[in-house]
Amino acid sequence: MTSQQHSFRKAVLPFLVLGLLAVSVAISVWWVTRPAALLIQGEVAAPRVDISARISGRVAEVMAELGGHVEDGQILLELSNPQLVASHKAAASGLEVARASQAAAGATRPEVIRAREAELAAAQADLRLAEGQVTRDTELAQQGLRPQAAIDQTTRNVETAARRVEAAEAQLDLARAGASLEERAVAEAQVAQAEAALAQRQADLDELTIYAPLSGEISARLIELGENVGPGAPLFTIVDLDQAWLTFNLREDLLAGLQVGDVLSVHVPALQRDVDAEITLINVQGQFASWRATRATGDFDLRSFELRARPLAPVDGMRPGMSALISLGG
């Protein structure tokens, strides 16, 4: 190596060192000031139904256990209420009485009809007798053997007998026709009222059996065998794990680029796996969930939004309450 080359190297070396230092500083500044990914924590949620009793009763049999899986329509619980059973029997008896009254209003006993026919026959016989007496008195009066007063009396007797015949005929018609339209309507209404009362008692009895309104897992059991429960008292809580979703609360400035239908990669720490989930809801939350800015900095308030995402495929072991993480930006 010549002395000229050696001198050139010594002259260039400081510039190379300075260049390397400048590049290192630039890389360090970029690394420190680069947009960092923001990690957002949410959780797993699922539909849940709190099951309660509509009527009071004593727990007679429990057919579902905490943590067990139940199907839609499966019997969970049997209640006992002797008062309701007695009320049902009373309502059934009341319906029988109402129906018997309706039947009685719709028909007349044969004995009553025969009695009315006998009364009509007797009235007709009295009329014929009175008419015969008028004829005899008239003949005697023509012979001068009966006074006019006797003729007038027998004539009145004929008219009275005729009215009795008319009354007997009316009574017979009433007996044959049975109750009036108004009475029949009242009897029919009483039957309808008794049927409604019985249906109500039957509905109360049906409520003694508690069914599962959906398929899922029993996450809470709040009663024990032999316990008395009242209307509205919580009995079970069912969670539908098959319909679980992921929920996150985001400031509105983090929603850029996100829309319903997008697919997110969500990390579930409890399962140590990533889950692909489709965004199904972006919904604004109440004013209480807003992020308040500091006015001195010139910033502004930001609303909070709920973001829901549903897994594209069933995830074994995912349960409500588990944490879920998504990375935004960066």
- 95: in domain: yes
Note whether 98 and 187 are same-domain residues: yes
The pLDDT of residue 74: 92
Indicate whether 318 belongs to any domain. Answer: yes
Confirm whether 3 is domain-assigned: no
117: in domain: yes
Task: For residue 57, give the CATH number of its domain.
Answer: 2.40.50.100
- Within 10 angstroms of residue 94's Cβ, the number of other Cβ atoms is 18
Domain harbouring 245, CATH code: 2.40.30.170
pTM: 0.60
135 domain-assigned: yes
pLDDT score recorded for residue 34: 54
Q: So what's the pLDDT on residue 223?
A: 87
Mean pLDDT score of the chain, rounded to an integer? 81
Q: Which domain range does residue 194 map to?
A: 88-203
| HEC letters along 44-98 | EECCEEEEECCCCEEEEEECCCCCCEECCCCEEEEEECHHHHHHHHHHHHHHHHH
A 10 A CB-CB count for 325 gives 16
Residue 328 CB neighbours (<10 A): 16
211 in a structural domain: no
CB 61 within 8 A of CB 78: yes
Examine the domain organization and report whether 77 and 92 are in the same domain: no
* 254 and 304 inside one domain: yes
Residues 92 and 64 grouped into a single domain? no
Q: Is 19 a member of any domain?
A: no
Beta-strand (E) ranges in the chain? Answer: 38-45, 48-52, 57-62, 69-70, 75-80, 209-211, 216-221, 228-229, 234-239, 245-251, 263-268, 273-284, 304-311, 323-328
pLDDT at 8: 53
- Domain annotation covers residue 209: no
Q: Please tell me whether residues 129 and 77 are part of one structural domain.
A: no
Q: Which of 203, 230, 265 delimits the end of a domain?
A: 203
Q: Are residues 93 and 172 in the same domain?
A: yes
Q: Are residues 235 and 245 in the same domain?
A: no
Per residue of the chain (330 residues), give pLDDT as tens. 556 555 655 565 666 666 667 667 666 655 455 555 678 888 999 999 999 988 899 999 999 888 899 999 999 999 999 999 999 999 999 989 888 887 777 666 677 777 777 887 887 887 788 777 777 767 766 766 667 777 667 778 778 878 888 887 887 777 776 666 777 788 888 889 999 999 999 999 999 999 999 899 998 898 888 889 989 888 999 999 888 999 998 888 888 888 898 898 899 999 898 999 999 988 887 665 555 555 555 556 678 888 899 999 888 889 898 999 988 865
Residues 94 and 164 in one domain: yes
Q: Domain count of the chain?
A: 3
* Same domain, residue pair 105 and 196: yes
| Measured distance CA(76)–CA(56) in Å, rounded | 16
Q: What is the pLDDT of residue 15?
A: 60
Same-domain check for residues 77 and 221: yes
Question: Does residue 279 sit in the same domain as residue 195?
Answer: no
In the block, residue with structure tokens 């009695």: 115
